[in-house]
Amino acid sequence: MVDKPVRTRFAPSPTGSIHIGGMRQALFSWLYARRHGGQFILRIEDTDQERFIEGSLNLIYEAFDWFDLDIDEGPRQGGEFGSYVQSERLELYQQWANWLLENGHAYKAFETPQELAQIREEREKMGKAGYDGRARNLTTDEIAQFEAEGRKPVLRFKMPREGKTRTSDMIRGITEFDNSQLNDPVILKSDGFPTYHLAHVIDDHFMEISHITRGVEWLPSLPLHWNIFEAFGWEKPIFAHLPLIMDDKGQKLSKRKTIEGGKSDVPVIVHDFIDAGYLPEAVTNFITNIGWNFGDNQEIFSREEAMKRFDLTDINKANAAYPIEKLESINQYYIQAMETSKLANLLKPVFEDAGYTVDIALMEQVVPIINTRLKKLKEAPNIAGFLFADWAKFEAPPAEWMIHKKSTAAESVTILQRVIELIESLEDFSPTAQYDAFKALAGEMGISNSVLFTPLRISVTGKRVHPPIFETLEILGKDEAIRRIKLAIDQLQKIVSN
């Protein structure tokens, strides 16, 4: 066990983009493999033909690319244990299912779905659950007769009826299950496809997986998998059942359910995060902090730092609510910490999508004045779009906006006239020089800074909320600034003359 190379896997079903809980499992598995110099494998579990969604493989790879998680073996990178798509391994499953049948660990059953539903209903009245194993005793004649009728059998695994199954898990330790409580599950469906139970045991064995990481929802079926491994006589991998991320109702967060109650913008699948303008490093940091922590009270850390400390045994046992508010602040932190040119390049397409034409040099000027104001990239055009819009089309804002509550329209006009004169006279138009000059002007006029700045900033930006005014003025330049202020004066004049 000590010498066995670490090989972990992520095994999603192709049902669309990856759910954030699944992505966290993938990340943890990846982290563990990388920490131990092992391999990380991607396997597609498409044994349920009904849930298959076209194009899922692309979405799954896009998700891994976005997070920059490299995959050692998988459908696209291949590997010596392929295929990595279960529907391409049918023969293998059938072969080993047969082996179980021949060795007395499995049996054929012919019940129809309706009959099964009835059995379940009857057993429920008796306080029991599931299939009762009645087909265990079918005679060869009975089997032959069912087959003559054209009924296609399923294969069910013969669970031990007595004693206990003692399982162990890296996170949860030893758990004992009473075998009398367990039923005989279908391992091979009538269409010849295996169920998850059989398929993953065979794959994890032949792909030489050392550690199976999956959600706790699998814990109840662990004894089943345990017994299948034993029936085959194969060495079991180490299991680690990860806690779940819950939704706002305390239920398992699922992509099959949508989050309701005005919170529909809560991202759940990886592509939601991409679309919303979160940064992959922030999302990585965010999900790594759910159920695991870096220690030393440090919450912001890179994936590489996490890798050095990560261990599956340190993962919490308890499920976690989805702390989505925290992502906003982590994302904000990463945006703020990012280099100007890098952020500018990320922001360019965001502005373009919003309909603006972007000059990258201008963007690099804008980035430093908006980077502390962004929680997500998508918010940027709202804040700074006006700088990229066609300046010639600028329209003065409503006059009321430009009048400070302790001031009047007439006074605002006077202020703006003085401001124009000042701007024209300024040789140094840098933000600090402007600030000094405007402050001096306010003093000279005997008014507070805010009384002076309110008409200035709103007349120039056309908005009530905007980036810092001096930097904005510098970007706009003297001429444009003056032009806008004159437009504003015209607006204000209308009120004054009334």
Strand partners, 320: 245
Q: Which of 51, 17, 448 is nearest to 267 (CA)?
A: 17
**Whose Cβ is closer to RNA: residue 226's or residue 453's?**
453
β-bridge pairing 39-42 and 7-10 = parallel
Contacts of 88 (CB under 8 A, 6+ apart): none
Work out whether 178 is an interface residue with RNA (CB under 7 A). Answer: yes
**Active-site residue (options: 164, 189, 236, 255):** 255
- Annotation says 255 is catalytic: yes
**Whose Cβ is closer to RNA: residue 88's or residue 217's?**
217
**Whose Cβ is closer to RNA: residue 37's or residue 201's?**
201
Q: What is d(CA 471, CA 384) in angstroms, rounded to the nearest whole number?
A: 12
Q: How many C-beta neighbours within 10 Å does residue 148 have? A: 8
Work out whether 191 is an interface residue with RNA (CB under 7 A). Answer: yes
DSSP 44-62: B----TTT--TTHHHHHHH
Work out whether 336 is an interface residue with RNA (CB under 7 A). Answer: yes
Q: Of residues 312-331, which lie at the interface with RNA (CB under 7 A)? A: 314, 316-321, 323, 325-326, 328-329
- Whole-Å CA distances, 427 to 53, 422, 437, 443, 479: 64, 10, 11, 20, 13
Q: Can you tell me which of 31, 100, 202, 290 binds RNA, judged by CB under 7 A? A: 290
Q: Of residues 424-453, which lie at the interface with RNA (CB under 7 A)? A: 431, 435, 439, 449-450, 453
Give the shortest CB-183-to-RNA separation in angstroms: 7
Q: Of residues 341-370, which lie at the interface with RNA (CB under 7 A)? A: none
**What's 488's DSSP letter?**
H
Q: Of residues 194-223, which lie at the interface with RNA (CB under 7 A)? A: 195-196, 216-221
**What's 36's DSSP letter?**
T
Q: Of residues 375-394, which lie at the interface with RNA (CB under 7 A)? A: none
Sheet-wide strand order for 186-188: 106-109, 154-157, 186-188
Give the shortest CB-311-to-RNA separation in angstroms: 10
Work out whether 340 is an interface residue with RNA (CB under 7 A). Answer: no
Give the shortest CB-81-to-RNA separation in angstroms: 18
Q: Can you tell me which of 21, 243, 280, 462 binds RNA, judged by CB under 7 A? A: 243
3-state secondary structure (DSSP) of residue 338: coil
3-state secondary structure (DSSP) of residue 341: helix
DSSP 318-332: S-EE--HHHHHHHHH
Give the shortest CB-498-to-RNA separation in angstroms: 27
Q: What is d(CA 257, CA 162) in angstroms, rounded to the nearest whole number?
A: 39
Q: Can you tell me which of 16, 74, 185, 455 binds RNA, judged by CB under 7 A? A: 185
Site size toward RNA (CB under 7 A) is 88
Give the shortest CB-344-to-RNA separation in angstroms: 18
Q: What is d(CA 67, CA 322) in angstroms, rounded to the nearest whole number?
A: 19
Give the shortest CB-444-to-RNA separation in angstroms: 15
Pinpoint the alpha helices (H) of 135-176.
140-148
Q: What is d(CA 190, CA 202) in angstroms, rounded to the nearest whole number?
A: 19
Q: Of residues 104-163, which lie at the interface with RNA (CB under 7 A)? A: 111-113, 116, 120, 124, 127-131, 152, 154
Chain centroid to CA 423: how far?
Answer: 49
Give the shortest CB-26-to-RNA separation in angstroms: 13
- Tokens, residue 196: 């998850």
Which span sits near RNA by CB under 7 A: 88-96, 99-107, 240-248, 267-275? Answer: 240-248
**Whose Cβ is closer to RNA: residue 172's or residue 478's?**
172
Which span sits near RNA by CB under 7 A: 27-35, 67-75, 175-183, 268-276? Answer: 175-183
Chain centroid to CA 298: how far?
Answer: 22
Q: Can you tell me which of 295, 304, 395, 425 binds RNA, judged by CB under 7 A? A: 295
Q: What is d(CA 477, CA 480) in angstroms, rounded to the nearest whole number?
A: 6
Give the CA-trace dihedral at 15, 21, 25, 27, to 10 degrees.
100
**Whose Cβ is closer to RNA: residue 49's or residue 408's?**
49
Give the shortest CB-372-to-RNA separation in angstroms: 4
Work out whether 248 is an interface residue with RNA (CB under 7 A). Answer: no
Q: Of residues 37-76, which lie at the interface with RNA (CB under 7 A)? A: 45, 47-48, 51
Active site residues: 255
